[in-house]
Amino acid sequence: MFETCAEFAVYVPYEKEFVKLANTFASVIDAAADQLHDTKLKEHLKFQIDYTNRYYSWDLRAGVWNRFLQGVLNARLK
């Protein structure tokens, strides 16, 4: 889901033919394994952690949910 992975995930489109889907997943896993030795990986992962902490922290998500639920309650009481 984009809402939880932002631009960091590798999205694999669904395929009804399971063998094709399995082969696509295998290709993606192979590509990810090839990147493990990339010298910029550590820098990229640090950026990903900082981004996630900034936009998806539990405190931030809790505030969003609290505002949403309070809006639902307020709308219902009207």
28-74 pLDDT tens trace: 999 999 988 888 998 999 999 998 888 888 888 899 899 999 999 99
**Which H or E run contains 72?**
helix 58-77
Number of domains, the chain: 2
Using an 8 Å Cβ cutoff, are 25 and 12 in contact? yes
Do residue 16 and residue 48 come from a single domain?
Answer: no
Q: In terms of domains, do 77 and 42 share one?
A: yes
> Is residue 1 predicted with pLDDT exceeding 70?
no
pLDDT of 3 reads 66
Q: What pTM does this model have?
A: 0.55
- Token pair of 66 as six digits: 């609290």
Q: Find the domain containing 24 and state its range.
A: 1-37
Residue 25 pLDDT > 90: yes
pLDDT at 37: 87
Q: Are residues 42 and 74 in the same domain?
A: yes
